[in-house]
A and B are shown apart, each in its own frame.
Chain A
């Protein structure tokens, strides 16, 4: 045994230690190493949707406008300004110093091409639906001006220009008449503050500061994004100094590791909200209990959303009583609230003709503890809940078939701080998410998107949100909290809209 230890184990450990040179992250090599669980496969945000891709696109691409995350105002980016010629004609003027990562200068033709490509039949871009809803076509009217012809009045035009369309060189996707929708998927040529140096889909993305970027240059020279599917592995890599940043961290892990000197726990707001949607329209049962407003109000009173926010989500999560996030434009906080009051809930049930309660099938697809807490609160007032916890895709299929009487939904609004980003998708008559069946409400929601007057829009949303609250179509629950674990050397600023902006990081 002694011989074995001396000749085999000892030298093996020494050799392993000698050859061990882990890629250390941090200020020494001015490289921020970030971990993401979600696979990074396609760098072109015009063809992707997920949050990870928004985070990356903010670094590699630019848009005509930028969102100020604090004031929620749209400020010029590649555009220098805009003028409405009339309500459906918009002129955008452009900077002349915007350079692509390959050194070519961005022109008005590039901008017009990008938008016209997105709405074209061959594009099949993930942005086509959103942009095609309002854009007729774009045309170059001067070397630095592009004119956008809108199909109708659309107040969120600047929002879409700021968040959805990444600018591409003319001919990017159909050079020589050959369509290649994946042209920018792996070898991205953008105009953002970072350029792609190396990309191995599903493994690693290396970004380097683009020195010719027209805006404020980032403080950190290199950002490496690694795909690490397991949170435990990310945690271990953070502890041994191989990564500097991880997000979507479970609260308990963030708190326990953040309490050590190895990592800092940051908790910021998130535009995602949770809510219970009730089948007021009676899709599942035309004369069922949920068609009665007092029953829906009773459900609202029964839910202890403050404790759910505090103990189940934690961080900066807060209870809400509106069908939107309080940080969103138009999310009027003066609408009716239903404080936690189980006795009142029981009384309302009795008034509605259900003193002994009733059976309710409640669907949910994420945050099981929350689903169980909602079930327990409803059970406490006599509603016999059958909780159906399923995959999101299954819930979507059942909802499309009108088989769901109530479900716990969440919505992140794609990081858009405007009530439009949550209202239309849940309350217009063209979506299966709308279980209210209220056509007047749908008209109010759509009215807010048919004017460019912000005051008028706010008033429309006040009216719509007031109806939702009075009729208790939803039982709003809480806002989410975004938990991060970062290296103690990293200064990572958090923005109120909950979107991580790695490009704003610096070393302490």
Chain B
């Protein structure tokens, strides 16, 4: 198992470096970082000053080699845009994004698992159809649209929740709901399918014959097995929420990694974009690894296989 984890860890690093290499070249080819930093109205003199200041007049391979050399020594460079070490910048913002991602995951779990269970316990009834309808609707609704609707409803018409910033836990309610809602359809459907399959199993019939019914049966016998695939999907979803919060963080003006990524891309802040891509890639691969480990831990058949 340890060997497996180490190998996957090395793979994560390799993926992160490959992605960062592609990103570095694409960013540099597509834009002139000095011009992007200087802005639309800047004169050539200003652009040249910025180019000199950050060594942007060097060839792209030289700049990548310099970046890579720094990373191997633990130095991710200094942000062109924010004028501070990138590692410090990312560390400052990570807490907010982790909070948002975990809150969003909690929302996903709180909605999708009860809804999936409800649908599974009442297959082909109006409850099942309603639950599936919710899932289909949630899948069809884009994040930014849902965000704006929530802002209008709960921030403007019925102003009970703050709609921008990250000063308190209340600021996270709307964005966590919006970000969490996007994963509801997948998790809910998986829960429903898993439970329907499990509910037809012999051991459930045995449990019923012993007098177990309703929530008790679900909690003690069915959910443990039905949720195995759900757990691995949730781990992957957490990785997606970590890296995929760009739109949500921008709409709700949350100062996390998603918004940092957007600003850095718009400002052609290559050192920051590089580190973020690196971090997102590692988190994503790590979450996949975590899902595999969890599955192996929960289901002995996987370990044996």
CB distance from B73 to the nearest CB of A (A): 24
Contact residues in B for A432 (Cβ distance below 8 Å): 44
Q: Which residues on the A side are within 8 Å of B255 (C-beta)?
A: 202-203
Q: Contacts A124-B53, A126-B46; is A391 near B41 (CB within 8 Å)?
A: no
The 7 sampled A-B contact pairs (Cβ below 8 Å) are A39-B81, A41-B82, A124-B49, A236-B152, A237-B164, A240-B159, A425-B44
Contact code string B255-288 (vs A, CB < 8 Å = 1, else 0): 1000100110001100000000000000000000
- A142 at the binding interface (Cβ < 8 Å): no
A22-B159, A124-B52, A396-B32 provided; 16 other pairs, C-beta below 8 A? A16-B161, A20-B162, A39-B81, A49-B39, A50-B39, A126-B49, A201-B82, A202-B263, A228-B164, A229-B262, A237-B164, A242-B164, A391-B31, A392-B40, A394-B31, A413-B41
Q: Which residues of B contact A236 (CB under 8 A)?
A: 148, 151-152, 155-156, 163
Cα A130 to Cα B44 with chains together (Å): 10
Q: How far is the CA of A59 from the CA of B163 in the complex (A)?
A: 28
Across the interface, name the chain A residue whose C-beta is closest to B33: A393
User: Across the interface, do B163 and A237 meet the contact criterion of CB distance under 8 Å?
Assistant: yes
Residue in chain A with minimal CB distance to B168:
A19
Say yes or no: A414-B159 contact (C-beta < 8 A), given A126-B46, A129-B46.
Answer: no
**Which single member of A125, A228, A393, A412 contacts B253 (CB below 8 Å)?**
A228
Q: Report the minimum CB–CB distance from A396 to chain B (whole Å).
A: 5
A327 lies within 8 A of chain B by Cβ: no
Kindly provide the distance from the CB of A220 to the nearest chain B CB, expressed in whole angstroms.
22
Is A17 close to B, CB under 8 A?
yes
For B46, give the chain A residue with the smallest CB separation.
Answer: A126
The residue of chain B having its C-beta at the shortest distance from the C-beta of A228 within the complex is B253
Does residue A467 face the partner (Cβ distance < 8 Å to B)? no
B30 at the A interface (CB under 8 A): yes
> CB-CB < 8 A to A414: which residues of B?
41
For residue A111, give the distance in angstroms from its CB to the closest CB of chain B. 23
A454 at the interface (CB under 8 A from B): no
Chain A residues within 8 Å of B148, by CB? 232, 236
**Chain A 26-52, CB within 8 Å of chain B: the 1/0 string?**
000000000000010110000001110
Q: Say whether A130 contacts B250, CB under 8 Å.
A: no
Interface string of B237-252 (1 = CB under 8 A from A): 0000000000000111
Separation in Å of the A371 CB from the closest CB of chain B? 16
Q: CB < 8 Å: which of B43, B151, B170 contacts A130?
A: B43
| A39 near B30: Cβ-Cβ < 8 Å | no
Residues of A within 8 A of B (CB): 13, 16-17, 19-20, 22, 39, 41-42, 49-51, 124-126, 128-130, 133, 182, 185, 201-203, 226-230, 232-233, 236-237, 239-240, 242, 391-394, 396-397, 410-414, 425, 431-432
Asked if B165 is an interface residue, CB under 8 A from chain A, the answer is yes
The 9 nearest A-B residue pairs measured at CB: A129-B45, A393-B31, A393-B32, A16-B160, A50-B39, A20-B160, A236-B151, A229-B250, A228-B253
Contact, CB under 8 Å: A230 / B250: yes
Checking B41, B250, B252 against A49 with a beta-carbon cut-off of 8 angstroms, the contacting residue is: B41
**Per-residue CB proximity of B64-84 to A under 8 Å, as 1/0?**
000000000000000001110
Q: Does residue B35 face the partner (Cβ distance < 8 Å to A)?
A: yes
Bound complex: CA of A39 vs CA of B165, how far in Å?
14
Give chain B residues whose Cβ lies under 8 Å from the Cβ of A133: 45
Residues of B within 8 A of A201 (CB): 82
Residues of chain A with a CB closer than 8 A to B151's CB: 232-233, 236
A179 to B284, CA, bound (A): 41
Complexed CA–CA distance, A233 and B253 (Å): 8
| Bound CA span A116–B224, Å | 73
Residue of A49, A242, A397 touching B32 (CB-CB under 8 A):
A397
List the B residue with the shortest CB-CB distance to A185: B83
What residues of chain A lie closer than 8 Å to B160, measured between beta carbons? 13, 16-17, 20
- Chain A residues whose C-beta falls within 8 Å of the C-beta of B35 in the assembled complex: 392-393, 396
B-side contacts of A240, CB under 8 Å: 155-156, 159, 163
Write out the residue numbers on chain B whose beta carbons fall within 8 Å of the beta carbon of A129: 43, 45-46, 48-49
Residues of A within 8 A of B14 (CB): none
Tell me the complex Cα distance, A240–B154, Å: 10
Q: How far is the CA of A185 from the CA of B46 in the complex (A)?
A: 18
